[in-house]
């Protein structure tokens, strides 16, 4: 089994080679400038590589980009093998990166929380305390209660 540093170097090399080949070498119009390679992970035995990508566009463009990447998988793998110079070129699996969707979801949740906080702030603007400004007993209050009994 390879060490983690070697797997990391190979993953970085795969990410760079695939990104450059998509930008300059593949003439598939489905891939174009919409596809961005975000991350690459290689298994410990250096046999399989997972390439994460994002596509900026609607669902139709995402499906087209996925089909384009699947059709270009062989060309990309041979280019990685040529650049890496390893005994066994890892197989490539392309996975849509969920990071932009997750970030968008978190932003929506934060916006809802801000709106809810603003509603609470508006509702409490003219409110007064139910039991007075300071509802806690003080030592002098307990002394007067003891003498009254």
Q: How far is CA 48 from the centre of its chain?
A: 22
pLDDT on residue 143: 60
Give every strand in the sheet of 48-55, ordered side by side.
35-42, 48-55, 91-96
pTM of the model: 0.68
The 10s digit of each residue's pLDDT in 60-90 is 888 888 888 888 888 899 889 888 888 898 9
Q: In the numeric block, which tokens belong to residue 95?
A: 């996975």
State the DSSP string of 74-143: HHHHHHHHHHH--SSPPEEEEEE--HHHHHHHHHHHHHHHHHHHHHHHHHTTT---SS-S--S--HHHHH
Contacts 24+ apart (CB under 8 A), 71-74: 71/28, 72/22, 72/26, 72/28, 72/31
- Per the document, the length of the chain is 149
**Is residue 88 within 8 Å of 46, Cβ to Cβ?**
yes
pLDDT on residue 13: 92
pLDDT on residue 111: 92
For residues 61 and 54, what is the distance between their CA atoms, to the nearest angstrom? 11
**Is residue 51 within 8 Å of 40, Cβ to Cβ?**
yes
pLDDT on residue 23: 84
């Amino acid at each position: 089994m390879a060490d983690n540093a070697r797997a990391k170097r190979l993953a970085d090399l795969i990410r760079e080679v695939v990104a450059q080949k998509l930008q300059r070498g593949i003439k598939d119009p489905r891939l174009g400038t919409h596809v961005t390679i975000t991350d690459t992970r290689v298994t410990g035995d250096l046999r399989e590589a997972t390439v994460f990508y994002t596509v900026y566009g609607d669902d139709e463009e995402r499906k087209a980009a996925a089909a384009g990447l699947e059709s270009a998988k062989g060309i990309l793998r041979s280019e990685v093998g040529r650049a890496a110079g390893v005994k066994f070129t890892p197989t490539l699996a392309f996975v849509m990166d969920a990071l932009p969707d997750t970030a968008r979801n978190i932003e929506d949740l934060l916006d809802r929380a801000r709106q809810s906080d603003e509603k609470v702030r508006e509702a409490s603007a003219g409110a007064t305390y139910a039991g007075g400004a300071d509802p806690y007993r003080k030592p002098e209050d307990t002394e007067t209660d003891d003498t009254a009994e």
